[in-house]
Amino acid sequence: VSEERPIKNLVLIGFMGTGKSTVGQLLAEKLEWTFIDSDAALVSREGRSIPDIFSSDGEAYFRNAESRALADILSRNRQVVATGGGAVLREENRQLMKGQGMVVALTATAEAIIERVRQDTNRPLLQGDVEERVTSLLVERQPAYRFADVTIDTTDLSAVSIVEMIAGLIE
Ligand code: S3P
């Protein structure tokens, strides 16, 4: 007899501005699972904002704190986890995500992302020339999102329809 293993968590990965937090919140409501935003968890543990962490202690410090926050979050089950856009950069984080859940990558075109993040002041990596930052980081990052179990292009989809698609995968 084969017994299906229940999915432990749903882990949303993707570049900044692909809708991980918006989709994650709605998806968690629909599934009646807990929603966790890994950036928000990190900020509350650190007691300071992401721009503050980057400017006082730098990106390497942030990445270490991010890995610790993820390990803590993914020790639990039945959660929809929205990860920070750079959480996939470390192999250890990718392994952890795969081992502890189904990994769903959200993508969008550079144009759509630029439109969505243009007014943002909370993302240190996008300060300055937003077009240039998004375009070059996207090229650099794209390979790191490919380990996902499923990839959804959000460019022309509403959050609600993305939620339906993901819920359909596990119900
Ligand atoms: C980052 C993405 C951000 C946040 C930090 C770094 C990145 O999360 O973790 O600013 O390296 O892509 P969002 O993807 O939720 O914006």
102-116 pLDDT tens trace:
999 999 999 999 999
Low-confidence ranges of the chain (pLDDT < 50): none
Q: Which residues pair with 104 in a beta bridge?
A: 12, 150
Q: Which amino acid is at 92?
A: E
Q: What is the pTM of this model?
A: 0.96
ipTM of the complex model:
0.98
Q: Residue 152 in 3-state DSSP? A: strand
Q: Which residues line ligand 1 (CB under 6 A)?
A: 16, 20, 39, 50, 84-86, 123-125
- Per-residue pLDDT tens digits for 146-163: 999 999 999 999 999 999
Give the model's pLDDT for residue 2.
Answer: 54
User: Which strands make up the sheet holding 102-107, listed edge to edge?
Assistant: 34-37, 79-82, 9-14, 102-107, 150-153
CA 167, 69, 146, 82 torsion-angle sign? positive
Q: Residue 22: CB partners within 8 Å, gap ≥ 6? A: 159
Write down the pLDDT at residue 171. 77
User: Known binding site for ATP: residues?
Assistant: 17-22, 123
Domains in the chain, start-ordered, CATH in brackets? 9-164 (3.40.50.300)
Tell me what pLDDT residue 167 has. Answer: 96
Provide the annotated binding site.
17-22, 39, 63, 85, 123, 141
Closest CA to 74 of 136, 141, 9: 9
